[in-house]
Structure 1
């Protein structure tokens, strides 16, 4: 059996490692357009902010491929799929035969068609990140400013990272409030006020008309001064290869519950795939899809039924988690809300039929773990709603400590790792976070579960009187 994977990013590299775990003999070739080894794109904001080095966000190194008998070609862009002969053809003329093919081509940054946009730098790849860091250092040394176009998750992370490097930053966003897909109006406004307190000037409800030598020109004629301009205008699935091969493409490459396209020998996973009308742009669904596809490819039975999304903002001094149907109001659901704008705190629960269907937690909160578990499991909620938002005020026990968290609770959303799996890993000999991560991959996605994993490991060691 010859498996070829097109795309060596977060989805493709995970699929290859999952397949090799299940089948030590399958012939595997992975072709990646980027010249570097696969890296964790989610953690690029940490690299930009200076809290991580580029080498710290690598997923697999070159030695892994060799030791696991996987043929990997970096900087090898696939130009054509020959479905009749079952070959993929690269731009440099390489022809690679396949029995099964997986498309993990990901997404490209959206570049708005405005004059002068070539002066700006998209924030999407590791190369982009390194270009931005070099330019930011030069701009800071010269006392210059930066402008970020786009107030979604990536734009906020970019703006906060640049501000953390000492650069004055203005963020411009077309919508009326930040992260409008994940947040309601008040949460977006509170987030904007929090960022303003950290040195980011927020301009919402404005549109960029062009990028000029000294900044961004808005459609109303105003010039937002900036010598460094960053684009964070969203992403678009890379589907050209699939479309030219005659596969069904809508927003993404259409797949069924086995992640197969309308050609049963071709799969698609990650940001390029569209399942049940949804294209996911987060790492957890991509890795869930990789696991299902690996099961199917190696002869197992598995189905992908969609993912429950939890969005975490990874910006220094900004705590944010958003999940589910956050936009619903009292006319459609039971809504429990608390706002303290002076402290940058906003909390909202959206409840339907006694179950949590959405939540926003902005500002430091000890309720995140419990609410994420309740959302993920879809179980009935306790009657004390205020106690869900403020666990310390509730007389009812909630899972805010390792003792009370059930083994079935999911601790690492990105990798679907439960407390029970962490416990089993600890019992097998892992005595620190690094050991748990090596065995389960917990903490290797967005990294926001690290404190929870440390708490569980520390609690287990304490129970047994083991010093770490």
Structure 2
């Protein structure tokens, strides 16, 4: 058990680790050093802040460190002395440690464009990553009518949708041929672009930026095809890069991120790394669920609670849940054979793809035994797209865009690797197709939800955890959230949590304990 633990970084990963350590018995001193001059906040909710749906108090994390944890916001660490086991801060202070945890996160990428100096960006050019970035964007947006967002990934689309909700004429400029190309196929990207257009966000695809000209009255973005786009504000959402400067200077092994093993240890046994800056099994972070899972493992190891605990990455699910958009993407989906709607047929304006079994598919790790099925359905007029990939009766990839009541079931099947139901179309269309009038309504009562169902993926909270919290005395959504942390990550499960609490408040207590 480590007596002096220093955590570098007071973001979502570092704050969670501090809380996990504080919640466990033992005599230890925990010091958290955060470069940003704020208490920890939920970075995922910054797009909601841009949209004006919440204020800054709502994005602050409710984590309470308490006795035994010394949190110092606005204190940057400038160097690590591994031999002496000390860190040095920007003020010259040196702090000793028995174990050091790097939770330095990632930094926004500023693209190498003519007219942009990454160290001195113009007032009307702002990256979208931190709370201070968000404040700058909002300040510039108050007198703006038009905004350009450079980058059509998850963050860029959330920023554009949030600013459009404030009444700005929003344009997304993206260098590839469809939006969110890391998560979506071209067909899903096209449906998403149409949905955004209806919500006031226009997209410019296959448009590579070459330069920026910023002045007192606005900003101009020059494109490789000779066009120029003018706006009052330019938001940079060109991705992030793990912040590994401290680790590199300290001589730790760094590739894309700080390399760690399944104990989250670096090549120095006295130094761990978690969150966006860490690289495990060749993969760097970016989602909150893995970061919080890593914090939990490190806390168990450092406190001696479970010396055998090891990190196992949870299945990755990307959610875009801006106002008017509901998107879930998971797993790997190679380009469909013969086009985006392989096996599809025109049906009343929608592309309805049939189930088809194939031989080994490109990218399959076991090309001899794998039996793959692809199902697709697209109804662009309603902003709906669904694609499922099933390998040996297990869901290995999915895209669900638009209103689909089966999204929770699909995520559960993907998380657990459970066999998919025989009626594949029910998952694809979000309803049962063999009932009266073409189908039945999806099951609405939480009473029929299995206890093991994961309600909050970010915090690994199941229905059984929520019921147990209710039995222990929680009697409101706020009390349940405080006790379980459900809904404090990406926020996509909040409606589900509220629905379960409403069900618990109205059900016979005997029924709950069955």
Pairwise TM-score range, normalised by the shorter structure? over 0.9
Aligned partners of 1:190 and 1:344 also within 8 Å: yes
**Equivalent residues of 1:112, 1:233 under 8 A apart:** yes
Cα distance in 1 for residues equivalent to 2:259 and 2:9: 17
Contact residue 328 and residue 350 of structure 1 kept, 8 A: no
Aligned runs of 1:355-394 on 2, under 5 Å? 355-394=394-433
- Is 1:452 the equivalent of 2:499? no
Secondary structure of 1:403's counterpart equals helix
Distance across 1 between alignment mates of 2:8 and 2:257: 15
Partner of residue 223 from structure 1, selected from 204, 228, 237? 228
**Structure 2 residue corresponding to 1:408, chosen from 447, 452, 460:** 452
2:498 is paired with a residue whose SS is helix
- In the alignment, which of 5, 8, 16 is matched to residue 6 of structure 1? 8
CA drift at 1:432? 2.0
**In 1: Cα distance, 2:247 partner to 2:25 partner:** 27
Supply the distance in 1 between the matched residues of 2:62 and 2:496 (Cα, whole angstroms): 25
Matches for 1:25-40 after TM superposition, within 5 Å: 25-40=27-42
3-state SS of 1:315 partner: coil
Distance 2:288 2:67 in 1: 24
Q: In structure 1, the residue corresponding to 2:142 is in which secondary structure? A: helix
Measure the CA separation in 1 of the matches of 2:328 and 2:169: 26
8 Å CA contact retained: 1:320, 1:362: yes
Structure 1 residues 165-180: aligned runs within 5 Å: 165-180=166-181
Aligned to 2:365: none
Cα distance change, pair 418–361 in 1 and its aligned pair in 2 (3 A):
same
Tell me if structure 2 keeps the 8 A contact 1:155–1:232. yes
Are residues 60 and 97 of structure 1, via their aligned partners in 2, closer, same or farther at CA, if it must alter by over 3 Å?
farther
For the residues of structure 1 that align with 2:433 and 2:470, how far apart are their CA atoms?
A: 31
Q: Which residue of 2 aligns with 1:238?
A: 243
Which residue pairs with 1:266 in the alignment?
271
Cα deviation, residue 460, structure 1:
1.8
Aligned to 2:355: none
Please say if residues 209 and 219 of structure 1, whose CA atoms lie closer than 8 Å, have aligned partners that are also in contact. yes
1:342 maps to which of 381, 384, 402: 381
Q: Which residue of the partner structure matches residue 57 of structure 1?
A: 59
Equivalent residue number for residue 196 of structure 1: 197
Instruction: Pick from 469, 484, 508 the counterpart of residue 440 of structure 1.
Output: 484
Distance 1:403 1:356 in 2: 25
The answer (yes or no) to whether the contact 1:391–1:400 under 8 Å persists in 2 is: no
**What's the counterpart of residue 252 of structure 1?**
257
Shift of 1:23: 3.0
CA distance in 2, matches of 1:52, 1:380: 40
Cα shift at 1:69: 2.7
Residues in 2 aligned to 1:356 and 1:30: alpha-carbon distance in whole angstroms: 40
Corresponding position: 1:22 with 2:27 = no
Secondary structure, aligned partner of 2:505: helix
Task: Indicate yes or no: 2:45 matched with 1:43.
Answer: yes
- Deviations along 1:202-230, one digit per CA (max 9) or x if unpaired, are 00111111111332111122111111000
Q: Deviations along 1:88-128, whole A, 9 cap, x unmatched? A: 11121010100000000000000011122323100000000
Choose from 297, 320, 329 the match for 2:336. Answer: 329
Partner residue of 1:296?
Answer: 301
Q: 1:41-86 CA deviation, whole Å, 9 max, x = no partner?
A: 000000000001011111147xx34x33311111111111101110
Instruction: Return the offset for 1:400.
Output: 5.3
Q: 1:427 to 1:465 in 2, by over 3 A?
A: closer
- Asked if the contact 1:312–1:322 (Cα under 8 Å) also holds between the matched residues in 2, the reply is yes
* CA distances 1:382-406 after superposition (whole Å, capped 9, x unpaired): 1110012234325699765412211
Partner of 2:68: 69
Contact 2:26 2:303 in 1 (8 A): no
Once residues 110 and 104 of structure 2 are traced to their aligned partners in structure 1, the CA distance between those partners, rounded to angstroms, is 18
Distance 1:412 1:197 in 2: 30
CA deviations 1:279-332 (Å, max 9, x no partner) are: 121111100111111111111231002221111113111111111113353562
* Alignment partners' CA distance in 2, 1:257 and 1:418: 24
Q: Is residue 287–residue 414 contact of structure 1 (8 Å, CA) maintained in 2? A: yes
Seen in structure 2, the aligned counterparts of structure 1 residues 424 and 394 have a Cα distance that, compared at 3 Å, is farther
Offset of residue 24 of structure 1: 4.8
Conserved in 1, the CA contact under 8 Å of 2:406 and 2:426? no
Give the Cα separation in 2 of the matches to 1:370 and 1:313.
17
Residues 348 and 361, structure 1, Cα contact 8 Å, conserved in 2: yes
Per-residue CA distance 1:235-283 (angstroms, 9 max, x = gap): 0000111011111100000000010001011000000000000012111
3-state SS, counterpart of residue 40 of structure 2: coil
> What TM-score comes out, normalization by structure 2 length?
0.87
Greater alpha carbon shift after TM alignment, 320-329 vs 429-438:
320-329
Shift of 1:342: 0.5
Q: Secondary structure at the match of 1:191?
A: helix
Greater gyration radius? 2
Q: Distance in 2 between matches of 1:108 and 1:384?
A: 45
2:290 aligns with: 285
TM-score by length of 1: 0.95
Asked if the contact 1:369–1:399 (Cα under 8 Å) also holds between the matched residues in 2, the reply is no
| Native 8 Å contact 2:8 2:33 kept in 1 | yes
3-state SS in 2 of match to 1:229: strand
Aligned to 1:314: 321
* Contact 2:115–2:213, Cα closer than 8 Å, also in 1: yes
Measure how far apart 1:463 and its partner are. 1.4
